[in-house]
Structure 1
Amino acid sequence: MDVTIPNTERFIINAGYSNRSFQIDVFYPNCSVPENGFPIIYLLDGNSNFATVVDAVRLQSRRPERTNVYPAIVVGIGYQIEQPFSKERFYDYTLSAPEFDISSKWNDRELPPHGGAEEFAGFIKTVLKPFIENKYVVNKQKQTIFGHSLGGLFVLHTLFTNSQAFQTYIVGSPSIHWNQTLLLQERDAFLANNNGMENSVSLLIAAGELEGNHASFMLENARTLTKKLSTVSQLKVDFHIYDNENHISVLPRLINQAIKRALK
């Protein structure tokens, strides 16, 4: 007998570029719809974290008066695979930038196709969001995007280039080193132009303590970026280091903190 997550649906949606399609998993709360619609969380790497996030939301939103976590729609953006991660994410989550940022770390290995972040962002904006908003009752003023590793890189890119697309940005162990040159250019443009953002947004950046020894300087890059962004008055930014956690084990603790931030 198959085991399913209650109140979930799965869709295969054509991306409109590179012959790519995405596996979209959606959890919709089985309760009364709030006056302004349900908050919504969009998850990158949906194959790896959709079930974990859904269970966390289901459990904690049962008694919101105690947990301060309210029911929400969860949308996992994944791929038609059985494994937690797809190689296609290298293309979808990375920027079109000079390869010297990353080529030295791959040595003699062939780099996977990369540089498709703008196309992927276009898919979310023009295809996925309209599809979800046409099918479910969404509160467009309480939207969250969650990304880890390369997904965290993409979430930062989204914040810097289209800060009003979401109200909460969750960035776990961001792979800044992949596109450091271009991403920092985007950061500087954001700092120069967005101190007077029309609406304030929330940003949580986190990493595991054991990532401090990572060859990519992942933890230090995240810490430095947070310090820079703390000068933006319309941006509520926090940085957490989770003790005794590595690049993957950090995820459950980050998820717990993320839903508290997004769904309060």
Structure 2
Amino acid sequence: MPQPSLPEAAAAPAPVMLAGCTFADLKFENADQPHRIFLYRPSKPAPPEGWPVLYLTDGNACFATAVDALKVQASYPNGTNVGEGVVVAIGYPTDEPYDPLRRSWDLSPPPGRIYPPFFPDTPDVRTGGGEHFLTLIENELKPWVEEQVPIDRSRQALFGHSFGGLFVLYALMAKSAAFSRWISASPAIYWEDGAILSTESAFLDNHQSPLDIELHLSAGQYEGETLAPFHKGTPEEQKRLERAKETRTVELARNMAERWARLASSTETITFEEYAGENHMSVLPSALNRAVQIAFRRVK
């Protein structure tokens, strides 16, 4: 029986390009190495007030997913309630989804600690650079973005996942006027003996008046003491249960949302969401989609 012939390519295979997207490796003043900044801008003219903008940490891992979610939903705003906007993702000059060493420094709140290297013959892991990273975003990145595209400063959102989610919480407490919408997915609240909880306590004690911000916390169903079905009965089941009791991602995020809701100006502005069937890594696309819906929700 003759074998079917393979199709002939019209041209040699080429890298896939995301329409409307660019990146630049920028060397900021308070950073030792460049950051890779990914930028998506709509093709149509900006509204008079400028575009709403969503900033993403872990840009290499998050940018394309967020852009695709935005394009699909903004193309049908009456059905999705999502309008056009700008996506800015802060990453690193690498083809990998993460740079573990640099993100450990950038995304963790001060004062931080020093840990053994991730791999042999590599540098020690330093944490505590969150204050520097926030300063970079506010003093250098935002002005650079506004040179590229018109931005509505009243509609700026920040998203982070895991360490990035922890950074979102730290940034909110350090400079609550920096963004109007804050999206913290699977935040590592437990990190370094739960130091962010002391920061939170001091922040809330000093803000007894209603909080005029929007905060969305979330976690996957399998980030608590409920194990994913594919982990049950495996040799690492007990180890994962012990780790879950340490991180308590679902519990800590939900409890934080409840504390903040008591001081919120509206019952709709502080929310917690648990994503069914998701674990710490698989939750990322769902959380990014929700970030897009929050950041680019149409103004009534």
Say if 1:168 and 1:202, in contact at 8 Å, map to a contact too.
Answer: yes
Deviations along 1:221-250, whole A, 9 cap, x unmatched? Answer: 112211211111237110011111000111
Contact 2:112 2:129 survives alignment (8 Å): no
**Residues 97 and 182, structure 1, Cα contact 8 Å, conserved in 2:** no
SS in 2 for 1:20: coil
- Of 75-84 and 13-22, deviating more is 13-22
Whether the aligned pair in 1 keeps the contact of 2:23 and 2:36 (CA below 8 Å) is: yes
**Identical-residue share of aligned pairs (%):** 33
Number of aligned residue pairs: 258
Cα deviation, residue 217, structure 1: 1.4
Q: Which residue of 2 aligns with 1:138?
A: 151
Q: What is the DSSP-based 3-state SS (H/G/I as helix, E as strand, rest coil) of the residue aligned with 2:169? A: helix
**Contact 2:168–2:184 (CA under 8 A) maintained in structure 1:** yes
Are 1:68 and 2:81 matched, yes or no? yes
* The one of 253, 272, 276 aligned to 1:243: 276
Are the counterparts in 2 of residues 195 and 234 from structure 1 also a CA contact under 8 Å? Answer: no
Residue 134 to residue 175, structure 1, CA distance change in 2 (3 Å): same
Q: Which residue among 46, 53, 56 is the counterpart of 1:40?
A: 53
What SS is found at the alignment partner of 1:56?
helix
Which of 251, 256, 259 pairs up with 1:220? 251
Equivalent position to 1:6, from 7, 10, 19? 19
Name 2:229's counterpart in structure 1.
Answer: none
Q: 1:34 to 1:195 in 2, by over 3 A?
A: farther
1:259, distance to aligned residue in structure 2 (A): 1.6
The correspondence for 1:24, drawn from 8, 29, 37, is 37
SS at match of 2:69: helix
CA distance in 2, matches of 1:195, 1:159: 16
Q: Secondary structure at the match of 2:263?
A: coil
In 2: Cα distance, 1:245 partner to 1:211 partner: 8
User: Distance between the aligned counterparts of 2:51 and 2:220, measured in 1?
Assistant: 31
Please report the TM-score for the alignment, with normalisation by the length of structure 2: 0.81
Which residue is 1:204 aligned to?
216
Cα deviations by residue, 1:185-234 (Å, 9 ceiling, x for unpaired): 2211221223436x721111000000113241122111221121111123
Question: In structure 2, what is the Cα distance between the partners aligned to 1:48 and 1:59?
Answer: 19
Paired amino acid for 1:24: I
Partner of 1:231: 262
Q: Do the aligned residues in 2 keep the contact of 1:28 with 1:73 (CA within 8 Å)?
A: yes
**Whole-angstrom distance in 2 between the partners of 1:45 and 1:98:** 19
Deviation at residue 96 of structure 1 after TM alignment:
2.1
3-state SS of the aligned residue for 1:146? strand
CA contact (8 A) 2:162 2:185 kept: yes
Distance 1:65-1:98 versus aligned 2 partners, 3 A rule: closer
1:102-121, aligned counterparts within 5 Å? Answer: 112-121=125-134
2:230 maps to none
Counterpart pick for 2:290 among 254, 257, 262 = 257
State the superposition RMSD in angstroms: 2.2
- State the shift of 1:184 in Å: 1.5
Q: Secondary structure at the match of 2:290?
A: helix
1:86-139 deviations in Å (ceiling 9; x for gaps): 12100001122465xx97xx9xxx961111111111100111000001221101
Larger radius of gyration: 2
Q: Does the C-alpha gap of structure 1 residues 181 and 211 become closer, same or farther in structure 2, counting only changes over 3 Å?
A: closer
Q: For residue 5 of structure 2, what is the aligned residue in structure 1?
A: none
Which range moved further: 166-175 or 222-231?
Answer: 222-231
SS at match of 2:293: helix
Give ranges in structure 1 of 5+ residues lacking alignment: none
